[in-house]
Amino acid sequence: MNGMASDHNTSSQEEYLPHYLQKEDPFASKLSREADIVAGFYLTVIGILSTLGNGYVIFMSSKRKKKLRPAEIMTVNLAVCDLGISVVGKPFSIISFFSHRWVFGWMGCRWYGWAGFFFGCGSLITMTAVSLDRYLKICHLSYGTWLKRHHAFICLAIIWAYAMFWATVPFAGVGSYAPEPFGTSCTLDWWLAQASVAGQAFILSILFFCLLFPTAVIVFSYVKIILKVKSSTKEVSHYDTRIQNSHILEMKLTKVAMLICAGFLIAWIPYAVVSVWSAFGQPDSVPIQFSVVPTLLAKSAAMYNPIIYQVIDCKFACCRSGGLKTLQKKSFLKKSR
């Protein structure tokens, strides 16, 4: 029986052998040196802009930390996640691209994969919490009366614990982190799904709890918000100025959250599609040169959020100044009359 089991295991390994277990060096770059240099410069620019932008958001928020609303506390947490990806992860990949191979070995590979998954999962779950907050705030007005700052901090603790759990699960023996097919970066071992049923169960769990379910909550929340805003715009116009200003501020926060989620999903969905195809499609059917493009696009997600903050803040400031001028003009006309 033992002989039959060993023969079965041998035959299953012969059926599929992931790229990092084949004879060639898994950490040697499969791209041309010129392509690696271009990717290295690209990640350097992304890393610098992301670090400066998210650092600026955190610095400016720290100056008014006692005045931050719960939704703003969540967006600060998102900036912390993005800064973590830029500071902890990007230097590893930049050095490796310029070196034309992954130079940090298996320990560095597992650390890099863990850090990327931890901060990426933290970002997505933070955006999920923000979308729920926006949905309850806009569609169920009574929710806003009891939500306090300490509720936001409790939510942050849950987010970090959730991300820590799923990022650390692979170290418990049910999954792993492995080098990408192009050799100069590391990620979750999607190729386990090709090797065993347990690997398929692990990958499906990761996909559901760390991608599909949070994305479904985000989409549901913002669809309901859009429908509610369309039906309530006329009602808000009849309220006094204080309620209108509060409504404008809530819509500003909602626009920021929607754009952040859209940017994150646009950056990460191509990578998720390629990863799922690598896990459940034909083995090694994704060309190596093609697999690097979604990876680089996903690494740029941390750069978008500070830009979105600034654009919305500028528009909001213009709207406020425009509204202020209108009110001043109306008061002047009343006085003149």
Q: Of 52 and 226, which is predicted with more confidence?
A: 52
Distances (CA, A) of 230 to 136, 137, 235, 323: 16, 15, 10, 21
pLDDT range class, residue 313, cuts 50, 70, 90: low
pLDDT at 43: 95
Average pLDDT, the chain: 81
pLDDT range class, residue 244, cuts 50, 70, 90: low
pLDDT at 252 over 50: yes
pLDDT at 159 over 50: yes
pLDDT range class, residue 250, cuts 50, 70, 90: low
pLDDT at 221 over 80: yes
pLDDT at 211: 93
pLDDT at 233: 57
Question: In this predicted structure, which of 120-134, 175-189, 277-291, 318-332 has the lowest mean pLDDT?
Answer: 318-332
**What is the C-alpha separation between 329 and 65, in angstroms, rounded?**
35
Tokens matching residue 2: 């033992």
pLDDT at 163 over 90: yes
pLDDT at 92 over 90: yes
Residue range 119-148: mean pLDDT, rounded: 83
Q: Of 265 and 110, which is predicted with more confidence?
A: 110
pLDDT at 213: 95
> Quick check: 74 and 155 in contact, CB under 8 A?
yes
pLDDT range class, residue 332, cuts 50, 70, 90: very low
> Quick check: 126 and 81 in contact, CB under 8 A?
yes
pLDDT range class, residue 18, cuts 50, 70, 90: confident
pLDDT at 238: 52
Contacts of 14-22 with CB under 8 Å at 24 or more apart are 16/194, 16/195, 16/283, 18/178, 18/189, 18/191, 18/192, 18/194, 18/195, 19/179, 19/181, 19/191, 19/284, 20/178, 20/179, 20/191
109-125 confidence digits (pLDDT tens): 999 999 999 999 999 99
Tokens matching residue 185: 């970066």
300: Cβ–Cβ under 8 A, 6 or more apart, which residues? 46, 267
Distances (CA, A) of 312 to 21, 65, 247, 302: 48, 20, 15, 17
Helix/strand/coil (H/E/C) assignment for every residue in the chain: CHHHHHHHHHHHHHHCCCHHHCCCCCCECCCCHHHHHHHHHHHHHHHHHHHHHHHHHHHHHHHCHHHCCHHHHHHHHHHHHHHHHHHHHHHHHHHHHHHCECCCHHHHHHHHHHHHHHHHHHHHHHHHHHHHHHHHHHHCCCHHHHCCHHHHHHHHHHHHHHHHHHHHHHHHCCCCEEECCCCCCEEECHHHHHCCHHHHHHHHHHHHHHHHHHHHHHHHHHHHHHHHHHHHHHHHCCCCHHHHHHHHHHHHHHHHHHHHHHHHHHHHHHHHHHHHHHHHCCCCCCCHHHHHHHHHHHHCHHHHHHHHHHHHHHHHHHHHHHHHHHHHHHHHHHHHC
Residue range 14-27: mean pLDDT, rounded: 78
Straight-line distance from the first to the last Cα atom of the chain, in angstroms, rounded to the nearest whole number = 102
**Residues of the chain above pLDDT 70, percent:** 79
Tokens matching residue 274: 């390629």
pLDDT range class, residue 139, cuts 50, 70, 90: confident
pLDDT at 236: 52
pLDDT at 93: 93
Residue range 158-178: mean pLDDT, rounded: 93
Question: In this predicted structure, which of 70-74, 96-100, 251-255, 312-316 has the lowest mean pLDDT?
Answer: 312-316
Which domains, from first to last, does the chain contain?
33-230+242-321 (1.20.1070.10)
AA identity, residue 259: L
Match 């680089």 to its residue by tokens: 296
Match 């610095």 to its residue by tokens: 59
pLDDT at 145: 62
Residue range 259-275: mean pLDDT, rounded: 88
**What is the C-alpha separation between 198 and 211, in angstroms, rounded?**
19
CA dihedral 25, 27, 33, 34 (to 10 degrees): 140
pLDDT at 284: 73
Q: Of 152 and 320, which is predicted with more confidence?
A: 152
pLDDT at 243: 54
pLDDT range class, residue 20, cuts 50, 70, 90: confident
